[in-house]
Amino acid sequence: MNLITRIYLKLLKEWWQLYVPFRLRAMGVLLGKDVRFYGMPIVRMTKGSTIRLGDRVVLCSDSRFTDLGVNHPVVLRTLRCDSKILIGNDSGISGGSICAAISVELGKECLLGANVTIADTDFHAIKPEARRFNGNPQDISSSAVCIGDNVFIGTGSVVLKGVTIGMNSIIGARSVVTKDIPENEIFAGNPAQFLRKLNA
């Protein structure tokens, strides 16, 4: 990397640390201390909803600042009034998508590998009549997602509605998590299956 490129990237990072927090706070996002941004995340909040990032959270939306690269910027979206996204202290997300109709909560020190998707809703109704245009919340299945402290979710994984993942557990790359995961275990696959317990 030449000197001009290094200077450019340094100035870019400084700009993000000034502009992104200002913009997100203006939208109503609650930011803890020393939150870091690498690139501009995509954020949309429904009126009356909450997005809160804890202390020292890192959101990476630019492939130049994460080894594996990202397919898109970090996406944080609340879909209904009173829905919430809560991200605990010292957690990091690279190019992930989190959508909450009710609640998605990440604990402290969580790692979301590149392009992880977490959603607490089916987004569309199951019943076939007028599915394309049916926005009635009673017809769209949703259930909160809760991810414990120090969970590592591998690149490209999908965590679906109603799932709880226990603290310290690991989800292997490209997994689809449809059921609860206990603490201190490794799961992987589609659907995610138990591999082994973590060593004490």
Q: Which residues are catalytic?
A: 124
Which letter does DSSP use for residue 175 in this model?
-
* 145 CA to centre of own chain: 11
Distance CA 11, CA 14 (A): 5
Q: Own/partner pairs for 60-69, CB < 8 Å, 24+ apart?
A: 60/92, 60/93, 60/94, 60/95, 61/37, 61/95, 62/38, 63/95, 64/9, 64/38, 65/13, 65/38, 65/39, 66/38, 66/94, 66/95, 66/114, 68/94, 68/113, 68/114, 68/155, 69/95, 69/114
